[in-house]
Amino acid sequence: MTKRPGVSFEFFPPKSEEAEASLWRAINALAPLKPDFVSVTYGAGGSTRERTHATVARLAQDTDLTPAAHLTCVDATRESVIQVVRGFRDAGVKHIVALRGDPATGLGTAYVPHPDGFQSTADLIRAIRKEGDFEVSVSAYPEKHPESPSLDHDIDVLKAKIDAGATRAITQFFFDNELYLRFVDRVRKAGIDIPIVPGIVPVQNYKQTAKFAERCGATLPAKLADRFEGLDDDPATRALVAAAVAAEQVNALAEQGVDLFHFYTMNKADLVLAICRMIGVKPEAKAAA
């Protein structure tokens, strides 16, 4: 039997009590899949600082899951970012997804470090590693970061982040597996050997996904648009199509030897549960009494 792939799940911190209840329903539904870790995003420019902390702290204290806290350094002093790192450490969080973050002027506009802030993500990673024995994951962009002059430049930046202490990269989402596989080839040729975990986004809402994809420069294959066309008011069929599309994508990656997957859950469990089953990841059977 082939080895069960490793999975991780990404959530965003909730804004209201209702959203919090819905997040925890999703976490509880996905927990039996025994993910390698579950990560919680850090809102643009640090806007969810307290909520991200509260969510990872609860994960660390009340569950058997391994939380990973996202952290950005844009528009913040070194001191304030280090305070956040110490808060994570004191709450029992041992894994940080270290990011630069988008400038308030928007994705794709030039990054200007805060005068008292970190110059780059590598700089941030070095500071995190000084604060404790953290595992550090970072981003990677199979289709190039919108701000980057070239894929080679992206790979140089990735190398600098690894030299600073990162041990895993999670990719921006993509729908064309060829782009990811070619990127991994280039990364390996550049001598990088850490896992480059594909970021998979189940299409909960095609219009919203298309908007995100446009913002971050991810190609939307014509076939994808065609499959979702006319389903805006038909959530049941849309969910079936979304599960089939993502299952096709992850199965094709698994056939290429990919054995780690990161899911952008959008705080919803159903599609992710179904897709995980397609790659052999399901709740572990309870031992007989």
Contact positions vs ligand FAD (CB under 6 A): 41-42, 44, 70, 72, 97, 99-102, 107, 111, 120-121, 139, 145, 147-148, 153-154, 157, 170, 172, 199
From 10, 229, 255, 284, the catalytic residue? 10
Answer yes or no: are the C-beta atoms of 156 and 186 closer than 8 Å.
no
Specify the amino acid at residue 278.
M
Judged by beta carbon, residue 32 or residue 106, the one nearer ligand FAD is 106
Residues 176, 182, 188, 193: what is their CA dihedral angle, to the nearest 10 degrees?
10
The nearest distance, CB 77 to ligand FAD, in angstroms, is 17
* Phi and psi angles of residue 2, each rounded to the nearest 5 degrees, phi first: -75, 155
Judged by beta carbon, residue 68 or residue 279, the one nearer ligand FAD is 68
Report the alpha-carbon distance of residue 137 to residue 168 in Å, rounded.
5
Looking at 63-205, list the stretches that DSSP marks H as alpha helix, in order from N- to C-terminal side: 78-90, 121-131, 151-163, 177-189
The nearest distance, CB 257 to ligand FAD, in angstroms, is 21
* Phi and psi angles of residue 114, each rounded to the nearest 5 degrees, phi first: -60, 140
Judged by beta carbon, residue 92 or residue 106, the one nearer ligand FAD is 106
Q: What is the chain's alpha carbon radius of gyration, rounded to the nearest angstrom?
A: 19
Report the alpha-carbon distance of residue 197 to residue 140 in Å, rounded.
9
Residues 78, 97, 127, 192: what is their CA dihedral angle, to the nearest 10 degrees?
-130
Residue nearest ligand FAD (C-beta atom): 148
The nearest distance, CB 210 to ligand FAD, in angstroms, is 18
Judged by beta carbon, residue 183 or residue 228, the one nearer ligand FAD is 183
Q: How far from the centroid of its chain's Cα atoms is residue 50's Cα?
A: 19
Is residue 255 part of the annotated active site? The answer reads no
Judged by beta carbon, residue 70 or residue 238, the one nearer ligand FAD is 70
The nearest distance, CB 287 to ligand FAD, in angstroms, is 35
266, 264, 272, 218: which is closest to 243 by C-alpha? 272
Answer yes or no: are the C-beta atoms of 104 and 140 closer than 8 Å.
no
- Reduce the DSSP state of residue 84 to 3 states and report it: helix
The nearest distance, CB 240 to ligand FAD, in angstroms, is 27
The nearest distance, CB 40 to ligand FAD, in angstroms, is 8
Strand segments (E) across the chain? 6-11, 37-40, 67-72, 95-99, 135-140, 168-173, 196-200, 260-264
Judged by beta carbon, residue 56 or residue 99, the one nearer ligand FAD is 99
- Indicate which residues carry an active-site annotation: 10
